[in-house]
Amino acid sequence: MYTDFFGFNAKPFSLVPNPNYLYLSTKHGHALTFLEYGLSEKIGFVMLTGEIGIGKTTLIRYMLNQVEADMDVAVIFNTNIRSHDLINLILSEFEIEYNDGISKAKALEVLYDFLVQKYAAKRKVLLIIDEAQNLSDEVLEEIRMLSNLQTDEEMLLQIMIVGQPNLREKIQNPRLEQFAQRISVSYHLSAMTKEETGAYIAHRLKKAGGSPGIFSLNFIEKIFEISGGIPRTINLLCDAALLYGYADGTKKIGLDILEQVIEDKSGMGVITKQKLKDKPQGPVKDDVLKIMKNKMMIMERRIDHLSKTLGSRISDIETLAETCRDELVLNLVNLFKSERKQRTQLESKYGELKGKYDLVVRLKKNQ
């Protein structure tokens, strides 16, 4: 509708994941390096997590476009399944013929034969499980057992699990300790910065044949404030703003149009990322304290997890780097050190949030 008006050759902010429009922010670039390393080295499970709309699917599709020539890939999106249905679902996604009503043992045998054939043909086999945070503990245990399908030297089936942040919390359950131990490479994809948000918008506009000057600087700053650096929300707001601009007959989109979009979209799932002020205005509500306390608990678990895993992983990778001067391995050393820096920053943010929480508690007591 508005593409001709603005001179685009396609819609720049489509909500459909398109690897051709991938913008490699610092975090997305790090995530891609981790994923490529995990696939190239065939070392256990690979896990990617991130908020809804952060770009996980787009990143994976981009990666697959680089490696699919010598790889057979199956993707499972339906994660609300029972454990005894998993193997049959995997067979279906790999388009492996099997008889209805087949037993689990026979299904595993059929899958193993398929994997051996691919191994003999020097082809890799990758299973991607999306929305993995919805999997039950029983299904996750079934997935872990699939790692036993291997030769004396390497795994026949590589597995990548993708999910929302609570997936990381889920696998920290003691019941899933063995599953967690199989995850050799993991990365949490976080939101873009203000600068990256501006670069992301400019990148997509250029890809579609348009000019980054369509949006004003105030528009972009407000987009970051509202979206929190989440690509899907950015796409939703920018697409709507372009439509509103087309309807108004203006080719320069400013803050006035965005404010109208925000007002109209406020009840349709667009969440404003408001920062908590140091001193709340008006009475302090119990739900505010609850939200802050939940955030603190999540940050505490995240800091504890990073503290337990980063040190040993850096040591392992540095040892590998000493014997193999592979550029990818050396990059990973730097990335793990970057993760350690992020832990320090997270501890600082936790301290800031803890101070605000204590202040709110004191204010509530004085009410």
Query: Do residues 43 and 161 share a domain?
Result: yes
What is the average pLDDT across 24-43? 87
Query: Is residue 113 domain-resident?
Result: yes
Q: The CATH number of the domain where 293 resides is what? A: 1.20.58.90
Confidence of residue 271 (pLDDT cuts 50, 70, 90): very low
Of all helices (H) and strands (E), which one includes residue 126? Answer: strand 124-129
What does the alpha-carbon distance between residue 278 and residue 270 come to, in Å, rounded to a whole number? 25
Query: Do residues 306 and 332 share a domain?
Result: yes
- Tokens 């800031």 found at: 352
**Sheet harboring 71-76: ordered strands across?**
71-76, 124-129, 158-163, 45-50, 183-189
Higher pLDDT, 27 or 349: 27
Question: Which residues form the domain of 301?
Answer: 286-366
Maximum mean pLDDT: which of 101-105, 276-280, 284-288, 356-360:
101-105
Query: Is residue 90 domain-resident?
Result: yes
Long-range CB contacts for residues 232-237, cutoff 8 Å, separation at least 24: 232/15, 232/52, 232/53, 232/54, 232/55, 233/53, 233/270, 233/271, 234/13, 234/197, 234/200, 234/201, 235/13, 235/14, 235/15, 235/204, 236/13, 236/15, 236/265, 236/270, 237/261, 237/262, 237/265, 237/270
Query: Is residue 12 domain-resident?
Result: no
At 287-345, the pLDDT tens digits run 666 666 666 666 666 666 655 555 555 555 555 555 554 565 556 556 655 665 565 56
Query: Do residues 56 and 162 share a domain?
Result: yes
Going 156 to 166 to 51 to 301, the CA torsion angle's sign is: negative
What total number of domains does the chain contain? 3
Query: Do residues 138 and 225 share a domain?
Result: no
Query: Do residues 206 and 167 share a domain?
Result: no
What is the distance of C-alpha 232 from the center of its chain?
A: 12
Query: Do residues 118 and 229 share a domain?
Result: no
The residues, any chain, with a CB within 8 Å of residue 166's CB and separated by 6 or more, are 133
Query: Do residues 57 and 100 share a domain?
Result: yes
Query: Is residue 279 domain-resident?
Result: no
Query: Do residues 362 and 240 share a domain?
Result: no
Residue 100, sorted as left (phi over 0), alpha (psi -120 to 50) or beta, turns out to be beta
Query: Do residues 107 and 119 share a domain?
Result: yes
Query: Do residues 133 and 153 share a domain?
Result: yes
